[in-house]
Structure 1
Amino acid sequence: MLFDDAPGLRPTPARVRETLFNWLHYDLLGHRCLDLYAGSGALGFEAASRGAKQVVLVEQNPTVCRCLKSNADKLAATQIQIVQTDAFRYLAGNAEPFDVVFIDPPFSLGVAAQSCHWLEDKGWLSPHAKIYVESASNVPLTDLPTNWQVLKSKVAGEVAYQLFGRNEGA
């Protein structure tokens, strides 16, 4: 995939992506995925390549969206939908539950926990959704929905990454 550099763009490192997709090995095939802060689209494109039925990439930067669209077209990735908007504007819309969600916002925004609550509170998650969250390793990720449990967690340099499982009944 080709990608132009954009301010604040911080693609998930290759070794982190490899670990993440090993964790999600059986959770992608035929499922709906949301990449809420798409950026380079690496997580969403990888999910599509591993058999996700539908992948929605949400990105507000118009230049980045054009690049995502170009890459999706080159790959004939018809299961990928690119939505140009702010993540919270998207989540304020009509909820369509997703099975796997990737949350990797620019660390400087400090919106990871708020994004998690909007996903949970506004009906964007399937009953047993998996939620991947990246954050700065020096800033603890706190105040998450109480019905989420940590399934996997690692740190790689300045990046902390966790996979959560949603328990609808909790």
Structure 2
Amino acid sequence: MLAFDKTGLSGSLFYLAAYGFTTIGAFAVVTLVRDQAGEATHLSQWAGLARRSPLLAAVFSLFLLAFAGIPATSGFIGKYAVFSAAVGHGGTWLAIVGVVSSAIAAFFYVRVIVLMYFSEPDGDSTVVAAPSAFTTVAIGVGALMTIVLGILPGPVLDLATRSSTFLP
């Protein structure tokens, strides 16, 4: 809201698009990790996922790193676009708060990654369900867009900038 102009709107549009793909992919992954009662709801149930399903753990790690805003992911570019628009409109303090909040949140995301790769599972109660075609597409498109928008964000940033021209 601070940068309610073309720069701020284009940054926000890119952020929403980037995080939309990442969020849909991450939630699709979450639906696959299950126990007898349904989806795994306790963090300990993700322990050792990399041993049971290395590809699923890698893709979920990608999504978590994007949420943290790690470079070469769409999350980094999205946060950069939003924070730079804030700084450009005198909201340096707000951008600093955002960066610090992102760093704090990164701790929790990395904690899940460490749990998946370096912790022993409590038992064999958690399984990885076979994904449906729709779930596979959601995860695949989410992962692809998370990488593409992190490495080659130009076309989507340009589209967001052109879309922001409708601002009065």
TM-score by length of 2: 0.27
Instruction: Report which of the two has the higher share of helix.
Output: 2
Structure number with bigger Rg: 2
Higher relative contact order (CA 8 A, sep 6+): 2
